[in-house]
Chain A
Amino acid sequence: MTTQTQATSVTTSIEVQAPIEHAFRVFTEGIGSWWNPGHHILQAELAEMVFEPRVGGHIIDRGTDGSECRWSRVLAYEPPQRVCFSWDISLSWELETDPARTSEIEVTFTADGPDRTQVVLTHRHLDRHGDGWQSMRDAVGSGWALTRYAEVAAQRA
């Protein structure tokens, strides 16, 4: 697996030992099976996650106290090749209600044989989060190796 970071986006890829349809389904509707349960912005503990499998749907976190957080809008839903969803989370890690200040994640799935799928995830437009957006980039991606190298290299150019 590799991680690359460009100015305003973060890209990570991984290969999974599964057919493309399965890989897509686990990533989307099965999000609750792999998402780190510590990563949420609810007050309560995370009870379950719901991925509504359609454009205009949401990714919803439900807390053990019944609270809900719709932290993402599904922007593209093209099984089993591609899914795109928004990152409606502000730099202070609260729900961002202004879509102009949200970034987005595109995930593409490519069959690499009948039981092997290449998955590439790009979290882009991170600069839309506004002043200090770099902290979000550093939080979601490779905060140091390539980013800082690229910045230093750019300054020399």
Chain B
Amino acid sequence: MTNQGAVLTALADPTRRAIFERLARSPSAVGELAHELPVSRPAVSQHLKILKSAGLVSDRAAGTRRVYSVDPAGLAAIRDYFEQFWQQSLIRFQAAASQPIQEDT
């Protein structure tokens, strides 16, 4: 279950974004992420917890390790959010209508 607010909050943090982008390249365990990124193991675990509760990543057991990967449903949710046609259109309309009024038409 993805939630719009949780998704946006989760990705607002640059470290979490880096972890998310790294997982999009290849699924990884906590240790690998901590090794490659300038973040401690406990901090990586904490960030993964937030990404997971936002529906952006999922995890599975692989032997003694826990491997994290990007959840396609979460990814689709982000795409859908920014592709909402009328919402996007009204934001453009808002910008145009708020321009100083010119009586040239």
Query: Does A141 contact B90, Cβ atoms closer than 8 Å?
Result: no
A141 partner, pick from B2, B86, B94, beta carbons under 8 A: B86
CA distance A144 to B98 in the complex (A): 30
Interface residues of B (CB under 8 A from A): 2-4, 76-77, 80-81, 83-98, 101, 105
Which stretch of A27-35, A42-50, A127-135 is in the interface? A27-35
Query: Nearest-CB distance from A69 to chain B (Å)?
Result: 17
A78 contacts B by Cβ under 8 Å: no
Majority secondary structure of chain B interface residues (helix, strand, loop or mixed): helix
Q: A143–B73 Cα gap in the complex (Å)? A: 12
Given A144-B2, A145-B4, A139 contacting B85 (CB threshold 8 A) = yes
The one of B77, B80, B92, B101 in contact with A34, judged by C-beta atoms closer than 8 angstroms, is: B92
Task: Report the Cα distance A138→B88, complex, angstroms.
Answer: 14
Is the CB of A76 closer than 8 A to any CB of chain B?
no
